[in-house]
Amino acid sequence: MNDTDLQHSFANLIDDLASQRWSLLELFAPEVLTRELAAECRKRERSGELSAASVGRGSAQQVQEGIRGDRIQWLEAGQSEACDRYLQLMDDLRLALNRELFLGLEDFECHFASYEPGAFYLRHLDRFRDDDRRTVSAVLYLNESWQADQGGALRLYLSDGREHDVLPQAGTLALFLSGDMPHEVLPATRERRSLTGWFRRRGTDVL
């Protein structure tokens, strides 16, 4: 995607996010980049770097496989070229979100997430009770040739009572408002990989 196309894609994403709280963009990241990120995720799995994700924050943090069964590892700048390219792309998106929606987003945090067959994440919001910095959730899927009958959809619970299922197909980016969009990850029959992240604004953290 050249820069004009990218700005155009950002504009569509942002319009949808503003009007309906969620938006989707297929082939968001260049295919080569998506493939490299998938390879990076598999490499981290093989070397045992992913660990069981927890629920809650601070001292209330707990691993609860009955709620979420994914394994994760946070991304840091400078770990690999592909990761840095992704972080740069998301920073461009952060600036576009701030420009268009005045969200005052300060940073972006993200982790690789890998769900083994059968693993799921029950319905939830992406916001902690004691920390409301997470504002926009952004998930890039890393799975080639995903079929609907393999399960693993991201299920969004829309404000009008309908549900919308998103297949975790490589290159698809799902964006939604972290505090206003209940969602869940359905179990799949195959391994399901993603880069899941949050644009955060400055907090009024009371802790």
The residue ranges that bind Mn ion (CB under 5 A) are 126
* Beta strand segments in the chain, E: 22-25, 51-52, 71-74, 105-115, 121-124, 134-141, 154-157, 163-166, 173-177, 183-185, 192-201
Three-class SS state of 118: coil
Residue of the chain from 13, 126, 136, 171 that contacts ligand OGA (CB under 6 A): 126
| Residue closer to ligand OGA, measured from CB, 23 or 196 | 196
Mapping DSSP to helix (H, G, I), strand (E, B) and coil, where does residue 84 land? helix
Q: Which of 97, 82, 107 is nearest to 176 (CA)?
A: 97
Per-residue tokens: 124: 């939830």
Q: How many angstroms separate the first and last alpha carbons of the chain?
A: 42
- Based on the shown chain and the rule CB under 6 A, indicate whether residue 196 belongs to the binding site for ligand OGA: yes
Closest CB to ligand OGA among residues 136, 139: 139
Taking CB under 6 A as the rule, does residue 175 contact ligand OGA?
Answer: no
Q: Is 194 in the site for ligand OGA (CB under 6 A)?
A: yes
Question: Which residue lies nearer to Mn ion by CB, 82 or 178?
Answer: 178
Chain position whose Cβ is nearest to ligand OGA: 154
- Site residues, ligand OGA (CB under 6 A): 113, 121, 126, 139, 154, 183, 185, 194, 196
